[in-house]
Structure 1
Amino acid sequence: MSILAACLATVIMADSGDPTTPQKLPTPSPDAVLHVPPPASRFSLQSPLPSLNGVMMDWVGNSYGLAQQTARSQGLQARILWIDATANIDKVNTSEKVATLVKMIRLSGFNTVVFDIKPISGQTMYPSKIAPRLAEWKGKVLPADFDPLAAMVSECKNAGLFLAVSLNAFSEGHRDFKVGPGYAKTDWQTTLYEPLISAYSIYNDNYPVNPIFNPNSVGADQISAYNDRNAMPDQGTPDMYAVALDRFGTVTASYQASNVPAARVPVQGSVLIGKGGAGTFLKNQAPINSKLRFSSVPKFVKISERPDQQVPLMVNPNNPEVQDYEESLMKEVLTNYDVDGVIYDDRLRYAGINADFSPITQQQFEKYVGRRITWPDDVFKFTISPALNRGVIPGPYYEAWMTFRAQTLRNYMLRIRKAVKATRPRTQFGLYAGSWYGEYPRLGSNWGSPDLEAGFWFLTPEYAQTGLAPLCDFFIAGCYYPTSTIYDALSQGVPIGNSVEGAAQMANRIVRDQSWTYAGIALSQFKGNPDGLRAALQGACGASQGVMVFDLSHDIEPMWQVFAQAFANDPRTPPHASVSYLAEVRRKRAQVDKLGHKEPPVIINAGSSGIGQ
């Protein structure tokens, strides 16, 4: 039976009353007594990896999509091991080590290796003529005369393993070691928009506030703001003065000198402490029952000036020189190495909603909206509540800002896809991102389908068009949770989106048959817990078309036997091994859509911020 026929058969079964298929029930009359038939359970014992014990899974949610149907009917399943560059440098720094490693990977039943060759430091694991080479990491050395990528290509070819190489697109330095080309190329670094915060009294006088809340020390040139009592100073000084603000910004108490450490943080409020000029301002301008408010003006800084914010040294995706540089690296790899695939890691994104605010980006954005704007307030303005929560006031171009950045990344992906296919036509092109789609508008990356319809507030028709999924041959969603299945999440009292199955299930629906979708799991979540790992492998493979295990460095030795048990006795071909399978899925999806068949609404299994990034 063809994929289209199978899909149509599913629709016919639903219309004919098949009890195993979710049905659309008639709308009840408001005047009639309601008698709803009891629904069948959506949970059943499933074993997408037959060599492992089955687990209770949501068979309904895991059944949607032609990609799911195709992978199951054709016996396809991705089994991917990710090898991080810096964390594993001592495991791949000789030809003997690479050969031993690849042999173990093959014997354990994996069918795909992702080898990180450009980590966030911006250095390469191969001898590049463009980028600096990674020679050492935490005392572990990569010999200058050894090329681990060449060795990995040779060994994977001999072992029959699909080899994809990973590159971090827009990270060109590592904060903790101050290495990477981005430190010298300051004009490439992303420009962050930050608020310069001041406290304003009822008299409209103001005084600067330290932008770092709960600081270790209290200064005279800035007011220090605290919502964590444990971070407040243990001792007061004669010139120290503090006030407590409630959630409305009303001054409810004041403290002076040695009494300052006794200050209590009101519920949903804060304590402001100053000494010297800052203390004098609070004493004279903030009497009890008066009000203080926070306001801000914009400040623009290079990301290297804010090392506390994130580890990768992010560069500006809107800078043409940056795009040219990243494309040149991709072409260099594909020209010199016979790899089967390339994948961009999670740094195919912006540094945050407050990036990039450089003059280059301002010029491009104003061209996009067709007029000069008040920068950055017409995009958004930062706010700070009495509880020290940072928010934004959306300007008239806030939605345009999110769409503009997502469009920039989408067009860059198109450019690189064309370069990949022109340089090495049968090379597969992939993307990795965290699984919680709702967080990615902040980062500018829309990894969904342009045809996605779902209840996300940011998913305007314009934003939806920026979806990256059709540009990918495969997509890996980082479902890095310790809970394996939706069933387990319910039993443990955690959100269902904070499970491997729940996160993978939603990622599969959001990609919507435009790419293969694989669930990434974090090996570190299952240290000393082989049964938990087994269940996570089941959850990943049941809710998507395969699993990616991150990472080789995460104490994998005790778990090789788990992978061998799961994979080795039931070898599978990965869906991405042949371009024809995905081409057929996409064709049939278009035909089914043309026939007007609509799947049930996407269930938004909300995940946790930062997971998989």
Structure 2
Amino acid sequence: MKQSIEKDANILWVDFIANGVRLADRAERQRLVNSAKRAGVTHLVVDAKIPYGHTTYPSAYAYHVSRWSDGRYKVWEGRDFLAEMIQEAQVAGLSIIANVDVFTEGTTRSKDGIAYEKRDWQVMLYKPSLSSEPMAAENADDDTIFVNPIHEEVTRHELGILKEIAEKYDIAGIVLDRCRYPNVYGDFSELSRRSFETYIQQPVEQWPRDIFTLKDGTKQIEFGKWFGKWTEWRALNIKHFVQSAKKLVNSINPNLLFSIYVGSWYPLYYNEGVNWASSTYRANLPWASKDYHVSAYADELDFIMTGCYYPEVRIEEAVHNGRPAEWYSVEGAIKMSLEAINGQIPVIASLYLKDYEGNHAQFAKAVSMCKERTNGVMLFDVSYLDDYSWWEGLEFDLSVK
């Protein structure tokens, strides 16, 4: 029988890019899991597929991380990072949740990734000048290449990876990350145009201006006549993939927890084309269509992790520091998350440790806020615990409510 995420869960994210080379040493893996266990961590999130499309385990679908062109992960050639982390975690009594970065398949910096072989997979941006590549990158200064969530080959590829993980590994669950569009500027391919016009049952007369226009010389947008339905349609595309992924995972192992990580900034999440709320929630926002709730996917999940990534912990701190809204704080972000989820599934508030560099007291306060208001806390990422020498005090931080 599937277990729900327990109340007071303490989840620690192990990012492969930040930690993979160091963790090639078994002694380092053992030190990590033993330190985590002593501190009261209950779950480790371990990368199975990184943001550039490579898997940390041998896959029939994706490149292995050891194939990186500059050889940075050569130490993992012929090895399985996910399996080796699971082995050590089980000895320590920790549960593993495998992370899959979904719709990302390459990097503009080194030109690594399947997206360079499958260029028709790539997201087409509103204007090519918005990216360092003709297509696909999240922002002009970002190197992650996104692929189109409605491309049939893309969805088969991503579902194939999820199938491998669910079948082969003794894990507690799977979490999806980057299960989204790169930003508000994608995807404007002909495939997406045809699909959207089918959705609204009429042609878009002025494409893409009837979706939105860009103010001269800026990246600021002005909503067009179809923007509300466009955001609804994009979010519904992501929901459909989430439903397919959940069905697949449950068919293989119904005991696996199924979760997603998202940013907590719901009022701005139309940029990513995601409606991570419950379908019972009604968003009173200027860009939301009256039927926007049909695209909500939280009800498909066993729990959700929302990134409350702000150095200010309390709402009054955000107000004092001139933040534009109260949800630019851990407390406000939690409030926004709980409102959007509407009590339908557990929420795990998540913290970015770099926000508290040099200020352990503020970090401890943020952890306490997360654990007091939600089902627990997720910490991103383990590398900062080493960098800031915070392991020693973490047991106390995680025990305070």
Corresponding position of 1:486: 315
Corresponding letter in the other structure for 2:285:
F
Secondary structure (helix, strand or coil) at the match of 1:172 reads strand
* Pairing 1:444–2:273 present: yes
Provide the residue aligned with 1:357 in structure 2: 188
- Within a 5 Å distance, the mapping from 1:41-190 to structure 2 comes to 76-135=7-66, 139=72, 141-190=74-123
Matched, 1:331 2:167: no
Residue matched to 1:396: 225
Partner of 1:435: 264
Q: Secondary structure at the match of 1:465?
A: helix
Asked whether the 8 Å contact 1:94–1:148 carries over to 2, the reply is no
CA contact (8 A) 1:95 1:148 kept: no
> By how many angstroms is 1:490 displaced?
4.6
CA contact (8 A) 1:508 1:543 kept: no
Once the 2 structures are TM-superposed, how far is the Cα of residue 531 of structure 1 from its aligned partner? 0.9
- The structure with the greater share of residues assigned to strand is 1
Q: Which residue of the other structure, out of 125, 131, 142, is the alignment partner of 1:192?
A: 125
Does residue 1:420 correspond to 2:249, yes or no? yes
1:548 pairs with 378, 388, 391, which one? 378
Tell me the distance in 2 between the aligned counterparts of 1:138 and 1:336: 27
What amino acid is aligned across from residue 327 of structure 1 in structure 2?
L
2:44, 2:97 within 8 Å by CA — same for their partners in 1?
yes
Residues 395-433 of structure 1: CA deviation (Å, up to 9, x unaligned): 332221111111111111000000010011100011111
Relative distance call for 1:564 and 1:438 in structure 2 (3 A) is same
Once residues 26 and 254 of structure 2 are traced to their aligned partners in structure 1, the CA distance between those partners, rounded to angstroms, is: 28
The aligned residue for residue 510 of structure 1 is 340
Contact 2:47 / 2:82 at 8 angstroms: preserved in 1? Answer: no
Q: Deviations over 1:208-252 (max 9, x none)?
A: xxx68xxxxxxxxxxxxxxxxxxxxxxxxxxxxxxxxxxxxxxxx
TM-superposed CA distance for 1:93, in Å, is 1.2
Partner of 2:154: 322
* Matched residue, 1:463: 292
Amino acid at match of 2:273: G
Q: What displacement does 1:523 show?
A: 0.9
Say if 1:357 and 1:383 are closer, same or farther in 2 by CA, change over 3 A: closer
User: Aligned partners of 2:288, 2:204: CA distance in 1, in Å?
Assistant: 24
Aligned length: 392
Deviation at 1:178, TM superposition (A): 1.8
CA distance in 2, matches of 1:371, 1:459: 20
Q: CA deviation at 1:307?
A: 7.2
The one-character-per-residue Cα deviations of 1:549-569 (angstroms, maximum 9, x if unpaired) are 1111225351112211123x6
CA contact (8 A) 1:540 1:547 kept: yes
3-state SS, counterpart of residue 358 of structure 2: coil
| Amino acid aligned to 1:186 | R
Change (3 A) 1:562 1:175: farther
**1:283-294 correspondence to structure 2 within 5 Å:** none
| Deviation of the 1:357 alpha carbon | 1.4
With over 3 angstroms needed to count, the CA separation of the structure-2 counterparts of 1:522 and 1:120, relative to structure 1, is same
CA drift of 1:530 comes to 1.4
CA distance in 2: counterparts of 1:544 and 1:419, whole angstroms: 28
Q: State the SS of the aligned residue for 2:181.
A: coil
CA distance in structure 2 between the aligned counterparts of 1:410 and 1:487, rounded to whole angstroms: 35
Report the residue type matching 1:171 in the other structure. T
For residues 12-46 of structure 1, give each alpha carbon's deviation from its aligned partner in whole angstroms, at most 9, with x where no partner exists.
xxxxxxxxxxxxxxxxxxxxxxxxxxxxxxxxxxx
Q: Which structure features the higher share of helix residues? A: 2
Letter in 2 for 1:142: V
Residue 453 (structure 1) aligns with: 282
> What amino acid is aligned across from residue 357 of structure 2 in structure 1?
K
Question: In 1, are the aligned partners of 2:23 and 2:29 still within 8 Å (CA)?
Answer: yes
- CA shift digits 1:428-471 (9 cap, x unpaired): 01111111001111221000011113432233331112111101
Corresponding letter in the other structure for 1:188: W
**SS of 2:184 mapped into structure 1:** coil
Deviation at 1:120, TM superposition (A): 1.0
* Distance across 1 between alignment mates of 2:282 and 2:224: 25
SS of aligned partner of 1:407: helix
Q: What's the counterpart of residue 519 of structure 1?
A: 349
Residue 300 of structure 2 is aligned to residue 369 of structure 1: no
Query: Tell me, what secondary structure is at the counterpart of 1:327?
Result: helix
- How far the C-alpha of 1:173 sits from its partner, in A, is 0.8
**Against the structure 1 CA distance between its residues 459 and 451, is the aligned structure 2 distance closer, same or farther, given a 3 Å change threshold?**
farther
The amino acid across from 2:108 in the alignment is: R
- Whether contact under 8 Å (2:228, 2:288) holds in the other structure is no
Q: Is the 8 A contact 2:327 2:335 kept in 1?
A: no
1:390 Cα deviation after fit: 4.0
For structure 2, the residue ranges without an aligned partner over 5 or more in a row are: none
Deviates more, 1:96-105 or 1:312-321: 96-105
Deviation at 1:141, TM superposition (A): 3.9
SS in 1 for 2:149: coil
Which amino acid in structure 1 is aligned with residue 136 of structure 2? I
Question: Which deviations, in whole Å up to 9, do the C-alpha atoms of 1:266-306 show, x marking residues without a partner?
Answer: xxxxxxxxxxxxxxxxxxxxxxxxxxxxxxxxxx95226x9
| TM-score, with structure 2 as normaliser | 0.90
3-state SS, counterpart of residue 456 of structure 1 = coil
RMSD between aligned alpha carbons?
2.5
Which secondary structure does the structure 1 equivalent of 2:126 belong to? strand
For the pair 1:474 / 2:303, whether they are aligned, the reply is yes
Deviation at 1:482, TM superposition (A): 0.9
Distance (whole Å) between structure 2 residues aligned to residue 375 and residue 131 of structure 1: 38
| 2-structure distance, mates of 1:89, 1:301 | 31
- Following the alignment from structure 1 to structure 2, what is the Cα–Cα distance between the partners of residues 307 and 530? 32
* Post-superposition offset of 1:140: 5.1
Q: 1:342 aligns with which of 147, 169, 174?
A: 174
Alpha-carbon distance in structure 2 between the residues aligned to 1:141 and 1:380: 45
1:536 corresponds in structure 2 to: 366
The worse-fitting range, judged by mean Cα deviation, of 107-116 and 460-469 is: 460-469
Partner in structure 2 of residue 286 of structure 1 = none
Q: Deviations along 1:53-92, whole A, 9 cap, x unmatched?
A: xxxxxxxxxxxxxxxxx99xxx821111001111111232
Closer, same or farther in 2 for the Cα pair 1:383/1:334, shift >3 Å?
closer
> Larger C-alpha radius of gyration, 1 or 2?
1
Kindly provide the amino acid, as one letter, of the partner of residue 294 in structure 2. Answer: Q
Partner Cα separation in structure 2 for residue 173 and residue 544 of structure 1: 35
Report the Cα offset of residue 340 of structure 1: 0.7
CA drift of 1:376 comes to 1.5
Give the secondary structure class of the aligned counterpart of 1:549: strand
**Retained in 1: the 8 A contact 2:213–2:224?**
no
In structure 2, the residue corresponding to 1:187 is in which secondary structure?
A: helix
Alignment of 1:173-322 (within 5 A): 173-194=106-127, 301-303=134-136, 308-322=140-154
Q: Deviations over 1:328-359 (max 9, x none)?
A: 000011111111110111x1111222211112
